[in-house]
Amino acid sequence: MPTYIYEAIDASGATVTGTLNAADERAALTAVRELGLHPMSARPGAERAAGDGVDTDRKRRGRKVGLADLTLFTRQLANLVRGGLPMMATLDALVENTENARLHAVLADVRDKVAGGQSVHEAMADHPREFSNLYLSLVEAGEASGDLAAVLERLAGFLEQDLERRAQIRAALAYPILLLSVGTLIVFALVTFLIPRFAVMFSDYGRALPFLTRVVLGVADFMGSYWWVVVLGLAALFGLFRLWHGTPQGRLAWDRSRLRWPVLGRLFERAATARLARTLGTLLRGGVNILDALAMLEGVVDNAYLAEGLRSIRAGVREGESLGRETRASGRFPGLLSQMMLVGEQTGDVEGALSTVADAFDVEVSNSLKGLVALLEPSIILVMGSVVGVVIYAILIPIFQMNQVAG
């Protein structure tokens, strides 16, 4: 069995670390509890970084609380609460063991306010940059239901899935971006350094240069003399786009058009729907009211066109209409979503139906992204290779002709 490194709190409130063998992370956490400790985290031994072993005086770093920081904190909070550690002791332990400087300050403030009599969600609400409305609503629902541990477990799982999905997208796009960057640098070097040298040599050619050569030399001369015009023009276009996109009408038109792009439009729609379904399912399972949950989704989908559809759905649900029928009537979401909602309403398990939809669309998005990247990589190589080939060919034509004349 693999070895896991655990970090836990003992009966005196001190932080302890150690190693044990377990089948998976859940089994490792269970084994730590059997030792009479309150586990904070358990990770495979291969992930242990140099300098592990908790040092409460270690240097804190980071000025921003990223998704990875929030996810780790939420998982540790869920583990400690589920282990039965009192909330003040839990917050003390998390403050001491948080490396991100900004999150450390936020948690210290939350701890002090909880000690002063506020609830956890009330203390967190004073830090909207770190804790979203979705996060706060789930914590509030968990406190109200008396089952905060279970709600935190679901919230941690939701954040971990979101973090994993983003990591997959970054990993998939890393190589195409590298190819595009290298290709752009090569073309820039050819236009900036190589072609101008041949232009000097061709000035004594004594005859009209081939058309392709004149075009390449003209482009290089223009870029060399007026590159700043190109940069300013692109900056102006980008600025105008940002101004237009900043208006409600512009944002709505742009987000609607994105969903209609060839190939990418379906990918955007499926990704947004998967996130919407998983978020709504998490909120409902956590005890959040359906109307409040729908209101929160408007900021989650990050698409004004879909958010407008959610507002109409919420209005219908407020009047007593079916969630599934209102979703279908909006005409802005895939049919599978409304169909599964209707099934969930009939069986009394809307949360499970939404989870099924989210899993299905996550798989579709992952497979589509892999296929797109597999197509994108050779396309970038082909385009960049063609550009470089045309430039080199345009330079070699007059050189061959000069050699023939000299011969």
Which tens digit of pLDDT belongs to each residue from 98-148? 888 899 999 999 999 999 999 999 999 999 889 988 899 889 888 888 888
Please state which of the ranges 157-161, 209-213, 220-224, 399-403 shows the lowest mean pLDDT: 399-403
Higher-scoring residue by pLDDT: 397, 50: 397
| Mean of pLDDT values over 54-83 | 76
Residue 84: predicted pLDDT = 84
Q: Residue 241 pLDDT > 90, yes or no?
A: yes
Residue 20: predicted pLDDT = 78
Q: Which of 230, 212, 219 is nearest to 190 (CA)?
A: 219
The CATH number of 168-407 is which of 1.10.3720.10, 1.20.81.30, 2.160.10.10, 3.90.180.10? 1.20.81.30
pLDDT in tens, 13-63: 677 777 777 877 777 778 877 777 777 777 776 444 444 444 444 445 556
Report the run of H or E that residue 348 belongs to, with start and end.
none
Residue 189: predicted pLDDT = 82
Residue 47: predicted pLDDT = 47
Angle at CA 72, nearest 5°, toward 66 and 74? Answer: 100
Q: Residue 396 pLDDT > 90, yes or no?
A: no
Residue 173: predicted pLDDT = 83
Quote the CA–CA distance of 151 and 157 in Å, as a whole number.
Answer: 10
> What band does 232 get if pLDDT is binned at 50, 70 and 90?
very high
Report the run of H or E that residue 406 belongs to, with start and end.
helix 350-406
Whole-model pTM: value is 0.72
Residue 112: predicted pLDDT = 92
* DSSP states along 175-224: HHHHHHHHHHHHHHHIIIIIHHHHHHHHTT--SPPPHHHHHHHHHHHHHH
Residue 25: predicted pLDDT = 78
Q: Which residues contact 111 (CB under 8 A, 6 or more apart)?
A: 88, 91, 92, 95, 123
Q: Is-same-fold flag (3-48+57-161; 168-407)? A: yes
What long-range pairs does 223-229 form, CB within 8 A, spacing at least 24?
Answer: 223/191, 223/192, 224/191, 224/192, 224/196
Within a 10 A sphere around the Cβ of 235, how many other Cβ atoms?
Answer: 10
Residue 55: predicted pLDDT = 43
> What band does 198 get if pLDDT is binned at 50, 70 and 90?
confident
Give the tokens for residue 348.
Answer: 């009394």
Q: Residue 295 pLDDT > 80, yes or no?
A: yes
Burial of 271: CB neighbours in 10 Å, binned 0-12, 13-18, 19+: buried
Residue 61: predicted pLDDT = 56
Q: Residue 329 pLDDT > 50, yes or no?
A: yes
Q: What is the mean pLDDT of the chain?
A: 85
Higher-scoring residue by pLDDT: 77, 286: 77
Q: What percent of the chain has pLDDT over 90?
A: 35
Residue 26: predicted pLDDT = 77
Q: What does the domain layout of the chain look like in residue ranges?
A: 3-48+57-161, 168-407
What's phi and psi for 334, nearest 5 deg?
-55, 145
Give the CA distances from residue 249 to residues 30, 256, 318, in Å, rounded to whole numbers and listed in that order: 53, 11, 26
Residue 12: predicted pLDDT = 65
Residue 406: predicted pLDDT = 59
pLDDT in tens, 372-386: 888 888 998 899 889
Q: Which of 346, 368, 365, 367 is nearest to 357 (CA)?
A: 365
The CATH number of 3-48+57-161 is which of 2.40.50.220, 3.30.70.141, 1.20.200.10, 1.20.81.30? 1.20.81.30
pLDDT in tens, 80-92: 888 888 899 899 8
